[in-house]
Homo-oligomer: A and B are copies of this chain.
Amino acid sequence: MDDLRPVGYVIGFLVAALGLTMLIPMGVGLFADNGEWEVFFEAGVITFVAGGAIALACSNGVSDRLSIQQIFLLTTVIWIALPLFGGLPFMLGATEASLTDAFFEAMSGVTTTGATVFIGLDDLPPGILLWRSMLQWFGGVGIIVVAMVFLPELRVGGMQVFRSEAFDTDGKVLPRAAQIANRISSIYVVLTLMCYLSYILVGMPAFDALNHALTTISTGGFSTHDASFGVYQGPAEYVAAVYMILASLPFVRYVQLLQGTAKPLWRDTQIHAYLAVIFTFVILFSIYRMVVNDDHLEHSLREGLFNVTSIISGTGYASVDYQLWGAFPAVAFFFIGLIGGCAGSTACSIKIFRYQLLIASVRAQIRNIHSPHGIFVPRYQGRAVSEDVLSSVMAFFSMFIVTLGVTAVLLAATGLDFVTAISGAVATLACIGPGLGEIIGPAGNYATINEPAKWILAIAMLVGRLEVMSVYALFTIRFWRG
């Protein structure tokens, strides 16, 4: 095994930084004058000191250049360390959460899943609510950086198809990550501000607008209300839909846009396919609701648009319990969640580009079957796709489905019913949030789920968020021998 210190240093640094950010909800606590500031002060000090200690202990091994093994380890350990510390305020604060609940909620935050174990959100102190939203916001920008810098290096899940766009890092991933994080962050902040102002414009109170802006741009989906977006039916749904779509497009296109080239954005077939899928389902649901539920045009279009974009982008806001629409929407939403947004965004799940690559591969194969002596290579975005990319997409797809099955069976072993087990597995592995059924459906939450199931679900969030294979690669003898 390589030197663990470079990894420890980055982790320590990020944990300490997380501790510092707790000053923000602490300030909110001071302002609200509800005594809550102490919670964040305490959690902040613990987190900062622990992070600082780890970083110091590893500071004699700092290196710009990380090996593949170190990048793997770093990616997964970040997403375990941050929720461990990020959950402290939930244990110390008004939510009085158990370790399980605190870890679940914080993991649900930094993975941008948005499944919640808390009931009575409307009555929680503002500091806690803001902290939940902040965790998602950090997790969102974090995963974009990981998807743009780390995953192409690790060649997992076919993300290397985007490597040429992210340049070669020559092993110096950390400076590259800092540089990308810088550029992405400004875009991310601007989008969040725009989203915030738009929510204000349609009449959302400032605090709710802030929280929802943070969890919209991260496609996280935590809300400040038990009824989620049900509180803001109307124009706010259109605003949310627009920003959920913007947040699930490849962020590299925004970087290019700022550099003055809009062409890559317009020409991106991943974006075309994504918008086409959204359009199709919105139209289908609108027609369905008008015909079957006797709904009127604007209402059915709005609810269709909001809920389709919410699920496909993996945000997971609910404005209504779409299970009440009938069997067709419920089953369709289950599978829409398995489509997902674009790669290089905060969206999770299988993602549009993988379906495009799968289709390209199947087409090439059918050609090869019909003309056994020709050689047809699958193409994506006008370029030939290498075998390497194709096999890792296929590996991702199959391991994702197998993981889904194993997760569902394990959940059922803890006693969850069929619908809850299978939809809970999808809702967490695809980082969506709400599942189906009475318990964890759009109108429910994860509060009453048993403890072992909560741990299984939290691990599923981690595995899904990090594109499955980057976590599994750690569980090979070869990894630790390497």
Cβ 8 A contact of A331, one of B371, B395, B422: B422
- In the complex, A412→B288 CA distance in Å? 12
Q: Are A335 and B415 in contact (CB under 8 A)?
A: no
The smallest beta-carbon distance between A126 and chain B, in angstroms, is 38
Does A419 interact with chain B (Cβ within 8 Å)? yes
A-B contact pairs, 22 of them (CB 8 A): A155-B368, A156-B369, A327-B412, A327-B416, A330-B412, A331-B408, A331-B412, A331-B421, A331-B422, A334-B408, A334-B418, A358-B395, A362-B399, A365-B392, A365-B469, A366-B478, A366-B479, A370-B473, A370-B476, A370-B479, A394-B394, A397-B401
Q: Are A412 and B332 in contact (CB under 8 A)?
A: yes
Residue of B whose beta carbon sits closest to that of A393: B394
Residue of B whose beta carbon sits closest to that of A332: B409
Q: Are B335 and A371 in contact (CB under 8 A)?
A: no
Lowest 5 A-B CB distances belong to which pairs? A394-B394, A331-B412, A335-B405, A328-B412, A327-B412
Find residues 391-439 in chain A having any chain B CB closer than 8 Å to their own CB: 391-392, 394-395, 397-399, 401-402, 405, 408-409, 411-413, 415-419, 421-422, 436
Find residues 232-269 in chain A having any chain B CB closer than 8 Å to their own CB: none
Q: Say yes or no: A358-B412 contact (C-beta < 8 A), given A369-B155, A478-B366.
A: no
Q: What is the interface size of chain A, counting residues whose CB is below 8 A from a CB of the partner?
A: 60
Does A367 interact with chain B (Cβ within 8 Å)? yes
- In the complex, A195→B367 CA distance in Å? 44
Which residues of B sit under 8 angstroms from A395, Cβ to Cβ?
Answer: 358, 361-362, 365
Which residues of B sit under 8 angstroms from A191, Cβ to Cβ?
Answer: none
Q: Are A370 and B68 in contact (CB under 8 A)?
A: yes
- In the complex, A243→B330 CA distance in Å? 40
Q: Are A69 and B370 in contact (CB under 8 A)?
A: yes
Residue of B whose beta carbon sits closest to that of A357: B398
